[in-house]
């Protein structure tokens, strides 16, 4: 799935905070040793080291708050940009905006938009390798988005269901049309037990998946009639 921008932003700061806490603990230990008896450092040196560690933590905390604030502003701007683009679309096009794709998010929707890819059909007709280079993700990730987009053309399949199908190993409408509803429902349930849950996922059963399978078969028949 697409990288989570919030996680990408937070991860290095969490590691840095861990290192700073270790440093503070070490400085505190040295201060205690200096206060209670002969230690590595004299008492004044240990106190100075502890003060310095606290100062570094305060500075880093300010930097972190500034960076987080900048990231939030950037996300708001991306959201506003996506909304502005959607406002220029017709109703049918708006219903197919790439932001609908499960897990894609505002950041990658904006990057796709900057590449001229605004709707799901535009994404489906694009070369995955070129899109990946322009957006900054792997070609496999773009192919996942395209697979989800194809499932959105099947009646009854929601964006979350499309994401669940792809994560369960179903990649094409033809594969969905051939699937056994009971077995596929069980596979999807297993793949969403600990992550990627969506409202209603707990009620997923053979009947619901069977509707997707029938929708996929109708979609294939429609495509064949168009080609003929």
**Of 60-64, 106-110, 114-118, which gets the smallest average pLDDT?**
60-64
87 has pLDDT over 80: no
Inter-CA distances, 36 with 30, 32, 41, 42, 126, Å: 10, 6, 11, 10, 70
Q: Residues 89, 97: contact at Cβ < 8 Å? A: yes
**Of 40-44, 94-98, 131-135, 174-178, which gets the smallest average pLDDT?**
40-44
**Of 49-53, 64-68, 92-96, 188-192, which gets the smallest average pLDDT?**
92-96
The Cα–Cα gap between 109 and 145 comes to: 11
Contacts of 73 (CB under 8 A, 6+ apart): none
Which tens digit of pLDDT belongs to each residue from 141-159?
A: 999 999 999 998 888 888 8
Radius of gyration of the chain (CA): 26
| Residue 219: predicted pLDDT | 85
Question: In the structure encoding, which two tokens stand for residue 144, read together?
Answer: 């996942």
Q: Residues 169, 187: contact at Cβ < 8 Å? A: yes
| Residue 5: predicted pLDDT | 46
β-pair partners for 119: 97
**Of 31-35, 119-123, 179-183, which gets the smallest average pLDDT?**
31-35
Question: In the structure encoding, which two tokens stand for residue 94, read together?
Answer: 């708006």
The Cα–Cα gap between 133 and 131 comes to: 5
64 has pLDDT over 80: no
Which tens digit of pLDDT belongs to each residue from 11-62?
A: 555 666 666 666 666 666 655 555 555 555 565 666 676 677 777 777 777 8
The Cα–Cα gap between 77 and 71 comes to: 10
User: What is the 3-class SS of 36-81, one letter each residue?
Assistant: HCCCCCCHHHHHHHHHHHHHHHHHHHHHHHHHHHHHHHHHHHHHHH
pTM for this prediction: 0.58
The Cα–Cα gap between 186 and 191 comes to: 9
83 has pLDDT over 80: no
Q: Residues 123, 148: contact at Cβ < 8 Å? A: no
Percent of the chain clearing pLDDT 70 (strictly above) = 62
Residue of 85 and 209 predicted with greater confidence: 209
**Confidence label for 66 from pLDDT (cuts 50, 70 and 90):** confident
**Confidence label for 96 from pLDDT (cuts 50, 70 and 90):** confident
Residue of 79 and 188 predicted with greater confidence: 188
Q: Residues 138, 196: contact at Cβ < 8 Å? A: no
The Cα–Cα gap between 226 and 157 comes to: 22
Vertex 109 angle, CA 105 and 114, to 5° = 155
Percent of the chain clearing pLDDT 90 (strictly above) = 17
Question: In the structure encoding, which two tokens stand for residue 39, read together?
Answer: 């230690």
């Amino acid at each position: 799935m697409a990288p989570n921008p919030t996680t990408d932003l937070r991860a290095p700061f969490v590691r840095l905070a861990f290192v700073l806490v270790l440093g503070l603990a070490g400085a505190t230990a040295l201060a205690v040793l200096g206060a209670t008896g002969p230690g590595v450092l004299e008492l004044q040196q240990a106190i100075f080291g502890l003060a310095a560690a606290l100062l570094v933590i305060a500075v880093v905390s300010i930097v972190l708050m500034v960076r987080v604030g900048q990231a939030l502003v950037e996300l708001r701007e991306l959201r506003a940009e996506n909304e502005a683009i959607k406002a220029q679309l017709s109703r049918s096009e708006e219903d197919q905006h790439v932001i609908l794709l499960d897990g894609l998010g505002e950041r990658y929707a904006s990057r796709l938009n900057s590449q001229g890819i605004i709707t799901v059909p535009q994404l489906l007709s694009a070369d995955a390798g070129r899109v990946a280079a322009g957006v900054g993700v792997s070609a496999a990730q773009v192919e996942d988005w395209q697979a989800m987009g194809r499932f959105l053309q099947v009646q009854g399949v929601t964006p979350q269901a499309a994401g669940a199908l792809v994560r369960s190993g179903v990649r094409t409408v033809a594969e969905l049309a051939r699937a056994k509803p009971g077995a596929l429902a069980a596979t999807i349930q297993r793949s969403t037990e600990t992550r990627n849950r969506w409202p209603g996922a707990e009620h997923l059963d053979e009947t619901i998946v069977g509707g997707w399978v029938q929708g996929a078969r109708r979609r294939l028949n429609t495509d064949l009639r168009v080609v003929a």
